[in-house]
Structure 1
Amino acid sequence: MKKLLAIVLLTMSFSSWAQDEIYTSFFSDKALSGYDTVAYFVEGKPVKGDSDYVTEYKEATWYFSSKENLEKFLRDPEKYAPQYGGYCAWAVSAKNDFASGDPLQWSIVDGKLYINYNKEIKEKWEQDTALHIRQADENWPKLIN
């Protein structure tokens, strides 16, 4: 019986596990691996958050580098939260599936934050961001429902 359970678990796709709306690593509840989502907009770069400035949003813990950034997020979390919950934007678009997001592989397009899996995938994303955004916007609601 244990062997059968192990086989079933090993053959399940990642998407069957990825039911949370916000990407966090398997052993953590940190959104963006603890990076400050507001910093991408105000500092133009990823900045690690501080455990003194945290909040809960959509069942994930969000870290911020300053009280000001935390307050900005609390006023308008949808403005600052990454699109597609911080999962890889290219995977949501091109594969209609979940993949982890690397907070160091990011871009802001039309005032929205997008995270990708790695540098190579980010380069694919950047070849036609408008197309990928349209596709991912269509795919995302189906993935999380």
Structure 2
Amino acid sequence: MTAQRQERYVWRPGIAVITLLAVFCAAYNDVASGAATTERIITNRFSGLAIEGFDPVAYFVDGRSVLGLPEFEAWEEGVVWRFHNEGNRASFLAHPEIYGPQFGGYDPVDIARGVAVAGNPRFWLIAGERLYLFGFEANRAAFAADPKGFIGKAQARWPSLKRQLAQ
């Protein structure tokens, strides 16, 4: 075998390994991006924290968004929640249905449209003694103008969207 032919054979296994690695990475990215959109509660896929680590009780108690602390964590509904203090943690554990964001933290305006878009913990509103997170400030403003209308439409569409998110 000539030297040129030997060089060609050396590169073929290397090319095959690189190709397999590229296919694996592409498949992994598809799975990872799917995981971010198949959650019933908005969760940071890197940290595992619900609503980006913000304290859901602080919206009610302090009237503002407050980051929770690692020493005050709780596991509820399959995700880790953080709280600013032990009192907030205890309140949440006693009544997660009240203090947790409605629709799993998805934007209720988009839910009403039939689309699950993650809410941002910095764009929030309390309506009817429940916490709602929004993807955009414009959605928060629209919701504030007609909360009952959006809540009714979102509640009608949420069961179907929730089933899709669970798949």
Is this a same-fold pair by TM over 0.5? Answer: yes
* 2:148 is the alignment partner of 1:130: yes
Q: Which amino acid aligns with 2:52?
A: S
Going by fraction, where is helix more abundant, 1 or 2? 2
2:83 maps to what in 1?
64
Quote the Cα distance in structure 1 between the aligned partners of 2:120 and 2:100. Answer: 14
Greater length-normalized contact order (CA 8 Å, ≥ 6 residues apart): 1
Quote the Cα distance in structure 1 between the aligned partners of 2:21 and 2:118. Answer: 29
Quote the Cα distance in structure 1 between the aligned partners of 2:115 and 2:29. Answer: 18
RMSD: 2.5
Change in 2 beyond 3 A, CA 1:10/1:128: farther
* 2:82 is the alignment partner of 1:78: no
Instruction: Give, in angstroms, the shift of residue 121 of structure 1.
Output: 2.0
Structure 2 regions of 5+ residues with no counterpart?
Answer: 1-19
Q: Which amino acid aligns with 2:53?
A: G
Structure 1 regions of 5+ residues with no counterpart?
Answer: none
Query: Which string of whole-angstrom CA distances, capped at 9 and with x for unpartnered residues, describes residues 80-136 of structure 1?
Result: 000000111211112x11111111110011100000002122122223211100011
Identity %: 28
Q: For this pair of structures, how many residues does the alignment match?
A: 142
Deviates further, 1-10 or 23-32: 1-10
SS in 2 for 1:105: strand
Change in 2 beyond 3 A, CA 1:15/1:143: farther
2:124 maps to what in 1?
106
Quote the Cα distance in structure 2 between the aligned partners of 1:7 and 1:62. Answer: 31
Q: Which amino acid aligns with 1:43?
A: D
Could you list the structure 1 runs, at least 4 aligned residues long, displaced by more than 3 angstroms after superposition: 1-11, 14-17
62, 65, 68: which one pairs with 1:49? Answer: 68
